[in-house]
Structure 1
């Protein structure tokens, strides 16, 4: 017999290292001879889209396109430390450092433009499409490439951003260990085969607080990727650990979900801009995974009345739990 059940789960997640630990990101912004801008930072790309999102931020500051941003990272000989690609911190932390460095570069470029154009102030100056111009007289302009050509050495600015965290009181457990927090919710419908113990996710809805969506398509990709990872560790990925030995030590026995296993997911992006974040954007690395597991477990409980407390919920484990419940009922 196949039974269906629905489950929901909600979470909040503190981004960054937290608990008063120094959470620092650093970045350089440098004008290139052709008028493009290079960003140097130690932020690591691990598939989360850091290179794209962290290029969009300085492009927005400087009125450039992403193609005009040269993103240089993962080279410790030339890039400043930006901390780890962990704790959902790169968009917020390093994004802030990059934004600050780009804003400093913009100030310097504007000051140079005022002198080169013979203006008496920076009022009304705009920066867009690789040039700085007077809004009321657009022909009064200078390109970033022209500014670069007049410099004896590359024009470079540096910025450091440190996240605000407070160590919790060890006596009371109270404090402000993280900032900012992000929020996520997931709802799933499952179908459980009571004869085999097989669980199938029929459909899901996934809502994620992102602060502000810098790149909505990438966010949806991360939400679906996070769902797949969570579904994997809840239903499929069994190490088969026994007496310190891993039996499922190859992909033929350690099963992970594929695209064919993915349900229909309704992704809901919730925008509530964070005032201390770059353009209001928060990180969503781990949060997109966290509510999925408990939502699935709640749905299984709703379907068959069995509360599973150990993952992965393999068919054998679930079938055993169902049979045990039936015995107790008898």
Structure 2
């Protein structure tokens, strides 16, 4: 017999290391001899789109084309430490460091343009389209290329550091501000449960994610898709099957993962509520998009068959066993 059920789960997640642990990112912005701008930051790309966001934040701050920015990352010889690609922190932490470095860079550009243009002040100077010019007269301008050619010794660059707000929790009272900022998620799923085979099929899903400000909506949608499928896999498929400390499912013929035949299109809802301390309001959402998925699926299973599964993954044998146990108890 096929039974349907719906489930909902909500979650909140504190980005960054948290609990008073130093959470620091550093960035360097440098003007190249060809007039392009290099960003040096030790932020690792692990598929979350960090490199794209870093360049977008720099381009927006400097008011230049993305094509005029060269990003250097994952190079410990040339890049400053930006912390790990963990805790959904790179967009917020390292994005802030890049934005601060770019803002300092703008002031350095203005100071150099003042010198080249023989001005008595940097007031009224605008940085745009790889030029620095007087707001009152665009004829009085100097290009990034010209500024670079006027740098005689060393690098023309700016550096900045950003430290996330985090306070260690009081061990006696449990009070404190361990994370900042927080992001919020909600997941709704509808499932079909076959009471004869124990197989669970997801037939509809919606996911709403608070992103602060969507710097790149397409990447956010991709992140939601990936997070949902990881949560689905964690809930219904993945089982290491550890016996006496030994992993029994040690190959993919035994350790099951969902394929494209097991996944569905998700209705994705991006919630924008800009975070005042974030770069252009953007929060990190790397891990939050996975968290509410399994609880939502389990709630939907319960709604369908009135049986609560308390051990993951919720494989068919566990569902059949739980159904038999309930039936046996009802007969007592």
Which TM-score tier does this pair reach, normalised by the shorter chain?
over 0.9
| Structure 2 counterpart of 1:146 | 146
Higher deviation after alignment, 188-197 or 110-119:
110-119
Alpha-carbon separation, structure 2, partners of 1:88 and 1:143: 37
Is the CA contact 1:9–1:295 (under 8 Å) kept in the aligned structure 2? Answer: yes
Alpha-carbon separation, structure 2, partners of 1:298 and 1:290: 14
| Structure 1 counterpart of 2:300 | 299
Is the CA contact 1:6–1:299 (under 8 Å) kept in the aligned structure 2? Answer: yes
| Structure 1 counterpart of 2:189 | 188
Deviations 1:22-69 (A, max 9, x none): 111111110111111111111110100000001111111111122211
Deviations 1:96-154 (A, max 9, x none): 11111111111100111122123333333222221112233222211101100110122
Alpha-carbon separation, structure 1, partners of 2:26 and 2:50: 15
Q: Does 1:37 align with 2:33?
A: no
| Structure 1 counterpart of 2:225 | 224
Q: Does 1:94 align with 2:94?
A: yes
Q: Does 1:208 align with 2:218?
A: no
State the secondary structure of the residue aligned to 2:236.
helix
| Structure 2 counterpart of 1:64 | 64
| Structure 2 counterpart of 1:319 | 320
State the secondary structure of the residue aligned to 1:127.
strand
Is the CA contact 1:33–1:145 (under 8 Å) kept in the aligned structure 2? Answer: yes
Alpha-carbon separation, structure 1, partners of 2:249 and 2:65: 47
Is the CA contact 1:202–1:264 (under 8 Å) kept in the aligned structure 2? Answer: no
State the secondary structure of the residue aligned to 1:120.
coil
Q: Does 1:82 align with 2:87?
A: no
User: Which sections of structure 1, spanning at least 5 residues, go unmatched?
Assistant: none
Alpha-carbon separation, structure 2, partners of 1:249 and 1:65: 48
| Structure 2 counterpart of 1:289 | 290
Moved over 6 A (4+): none
Deviations 1:282-304 (A, max 9, x none): 10011000011100000000000
User: Which sections of structure 2, spanning at least 5 residues, go unmatched?
Assistant: none
Across the aligned residues of Structure 1 and Structure 2, the Cα RMSD in angstroms comes to 1.1
| Structure 1 counterpart of 2:238 | 237
Relative to the length of structure 1, the TM-score reads: 0.98
State the secondary structure of the residue aligned to 2:322.
helix
